[in-house]
Amino acid sequence: MSLLDPYARQLAALEARGRARKLIGRAGVDFSSNDYLGLARDPAIGAAISEAIARGVPVGAGGSRLLRGNAPEHEALERQAAAFFGAEAALYMANGFAANLAILSTLPRPGDLIVADELAHASMHDGIRQSRARAVFVPHNDAQAFDDAIVRWRGEGGTGTPWVVAETLYSMDGDFAPVDALAEIAQRHDALLLLDEAHATGVYGAEGRGLAAHLEGAENLLSLHTCGKGLGVEGALVCGAKALIDTLINKARPFIFSTAPSPLMAVAVSAALERIAGAHGDALRTDLGARIDAAARHICQPLGLPAPQSQILPLILGDDRRTMAVAEICQRAGFDVRGVRPPTVPAGTSRLRLSLTLNASETDIFALAETLLPHIRENEVAA
């Protein structure tokens, strides 16, 4: 018997259930990335990196931010981000997963209560597991359930600080959180509000500042703007009160013990923030809106589905194997469509997650529909 046998059996079981994951290279028209505004190949961002290299900005940070890894480019980006998003302070981290892990494992204290949406990102779940606070998960987008959980906890003698935790735009369902209702609940209960703007940054709000842009600057708001989606680059910006940002610098293990992001990537994020602002950013968002409308006409209407709420269009087929088979048909036809299965999504909700980006034209959307629809009969897709 080999020490590796348990792993081999586990992999075989996943394969038998149609849930084995494999790395697939990028190919075909982009209907799977989070590069919503097509900025990953933006010439202006590339030029900013080239200019930084020419003036001697290093590729690597060389250490953690608390050692020698803290570069002027990191600090300049954080000042820019705080001003752009309207927060007192900002902290640049390697990615959104690390940022959520850092926030939720560090800031909620013993005696606090974390109330989180059940469909919050895996990074939020992992951060909550490492927290010393009590945690409750509530039904998706049910604002009243957040309120009820806090009231019940107070009635049981809870005396700490409640945390209201949600995404503003959910990555697998493409639906929006009741941001204003959650903000009102947080205000009424003296709670801290953590909103992950990962899939909204760049795409929604004035100049792409996010769905909670009108709340920025509030003492109780902590927002997370990941940079590898609508901004097309890499990293994550945590924005909020200086006291919270400084606590992360002093206490958050994913920040303290990680090598700092490349100073060149800080330059890239800075350039991306400039690209999503003003008339140029508005034009990108208008073009993306046209792609969403095209998907509504060519994909949703023929299937009897409502128009997509956002640039994320889930087609829920239910069965794992069938979902992956239809995704493969699309891939062979030249469209990069991916299937998503449990445990990423709840059991019985395997889906094609269509991501609408500026990397695919309206003509591409029509062509995808011609390939996709014959393999999905009307009323077979969950709304």
Residue whose pair of structure tokens reads 């030029």 in the numeric block: 47
Q: What is the DSSP letter of 228?
A: S
Catalytic residue of the set 167, 197, 216, 336: 167
Catalytic residue of the set 32, 33, 34, 95: 34
268 is written with which tokens? Answer: 């890239």
What's phi and psi for 177, nearest 5 deg? -75, 155
How many residues does this entry show for the chain? 383
Could you confirm whether 379 is annotated as catalytic?
no
Integer Cα distance of 57 and 213 in angstroms: 32
Could you confirm whether 199 is annotated as catalytic?
yes
Could you confirm whether 380 is annotated as catalytic?
no
Could you confirm whether 140 is annotated as catalytic?
no
Catalytic residue of the set 74, 121, 125, 225: 121
Q: Which amino acid, one-letter code, is at 14?
A: L
Could you confirm whether 2 is annotated as catalytic?
no
Could you confirm whether 34 is annotated as catalytic?
yes
Catalytic residue of the set 199, 262, 298, 359: 199
Could you confirm whether 375 is annotated as catalytic?
no
Helix (H) or strand (E) holding 238: strand 236-240
Catalytic residue of the set 33, 141, 171, 258: 171
Catalytic residue of the set 78, 196, 320, 336: 196
Are residues 244 and 107 in contact, defined by beta-carbon separation less than 8 angstroms? yes
Q: State the burial class of residue 157 (Cβ atoms within 10 Å of its Cβ: 0-12, 13-18, 19+).
A: exposed
Are residues 350 and 318 in contact, defined by beta-carbon separation less than 8 angstroms? yes
The neighbouring-strand residues paired with 134 are 113
Give yes or no for a cis peptide into 306 (omega within 30° of 0): no
What are the catalytic residues? 34, 121, 167, 171, 196, 199, 229
